[in-house]
């Protein structure tokens, strides 16, 4: 019923096994895990194979001979996934035990919804921050130009809707999910459960940290692509991502610590 899509390029933060265990520990059992080993050169392949030995028929492994990046790896995973729904998880992130069960129950009761997310917790070194996301379709649409209303590792989406809108755009290297949500919301509704069902590991080795400027640059492109350019108020949504791009990381760390 649910295909969990995971792309791995090295176990930088040592969290890959914890990520896999969180999928294996789900209260909902009708899942498969499609893992793309994107040319890792550490022990990631051994960790994945050991997990597959425990859940042999539920784990599909794709081995990339060369590193192709997250977007193309996810496209490969979606092409072989057999589920009616796709869930996403990044290496280092964690599903809480009832995450898939609660999201599937919601989708089964709301057939007009194409993607459902949830609240989540960002975990850093000695830090814990709860993130509350917009709940209803109306609120999601009202805020999507300002920021991404879904965390990529926290969604469950209809496989049919994913395919209907063309899936991930292989030309987008970072922030590929943000573009996808705009297209899914053209043909279906979105929602976010107001329960904290995911934990995201944010550290200096995570993609969210290392590629923050690249993600914000793509964010600007995505906003420009989908916004109503005749509405002058929409141009204010460029302010935050442009600040992230222009302010040096060292200065951002000083500001963050002073506010923290």
**This prediction's pTM:** 0.89
- Angle of the 176-184 helix axis to the 70-80 helix axis, nearest 10: 50
Kindly state the tokens that stand for 186: 């053209």
- Of residues 234 and 225, the one with the higher pLDDT is 225
Q: How many CB atoms lie within 10 A of CB 243?
A: 11
Ordered structural domains, the chain, with CATH: 2-204 (3.90.550.10)
Q: Give the pLDDT band of residue 253 (cuts 50, 70, 90).
A: low
How far are the Cα atoms of 97, 137, 160, 163 from residue 187, in angstroms, in the given order?
A: 30, 12, 11, 12
Residue 243, pLDDT > 80, answer no
Contact by Cβ (8 Å): 187, 210: no
Q: Is 23 exposed, middle or buried (0-12, 13-18, 19+ CB in 10 A)?
A: buried
Residue that has been written with the tokens 């550490």 in this structure? 42
Q: What is the pLDDT of residues 80-133, one digit of tens each?
A: 999 999 999 999 999 999 999 999 999 999 999 999 999 999 998 778 999 999
The whole-number pLDDT of residue 256 equals: 45
141-153 average pLDDT score = 96
Greatest CA span in the chain, whole angstroms? 56
Q: How far apart are CA 58 and CA 29, in angstroms?
A: 10
Q: Answer positive or negative: Cα dihedral of 146, 152, 154, 160.
A: positive
For residue 259, name the pLDDT band (cuts at 50, 70, 90). very low
CB neighbour burial string for 96-111, b if at least 16 within 10 angstroms, e if fewer = beebbbbbbebbeeee
């Amino acid at each position: 019923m649910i295909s969990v899509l995971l792309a791995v390029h090295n176990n930088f933060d040592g969290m890959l096994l914890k990520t896999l265990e969180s999928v294996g520990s789900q209260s909902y059992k009708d899942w498969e895990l499609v893992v793309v080993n994107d040319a890792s050169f550490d022990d990631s392949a051994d960790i994945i194979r050991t997990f597959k030995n425990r859940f042999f028929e539920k784990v599909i492994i794709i081995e990339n001979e060369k590193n192709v990046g997250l977007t193309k790896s996810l496209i490969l995973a979606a092409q072989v996934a057999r589920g009616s729904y796709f869930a996403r998880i990044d290496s280092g992130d964690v599903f809480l035990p009832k995450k898939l069960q609660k999201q599937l129950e919601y989708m089964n009761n709301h057939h007009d919804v194409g993607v459902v997310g949830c609240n989540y917790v960002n975990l850093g070194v000695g830090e814990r921050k709860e993130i509350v996301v917009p709940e209803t379709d109306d609120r999601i649409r009202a805020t999507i130009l300002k920021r991404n209303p879904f965390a990529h590792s926290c969604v469950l989406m209809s496989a049919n809707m994913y395919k209907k809108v063309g899936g991930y755009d292989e030309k987008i290297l970072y922030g590929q999910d943000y573009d996808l949500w705009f297209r899914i919301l053209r043909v279906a509704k979105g929602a976010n459960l107001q329960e904290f069902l995911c934990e995201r590991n944010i550290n200096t080795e995570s993609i969210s940290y290392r590629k923050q400027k690249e993600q914000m640059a793509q964010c600007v492109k995505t906003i420009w692509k989908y916004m109503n350019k005749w509405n002058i108020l929409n141009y204010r949504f460029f302010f935050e991502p442009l600040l992230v791009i222009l302010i040096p990381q060292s200065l951002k760390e000083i500001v963050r610590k002073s506010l923290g």
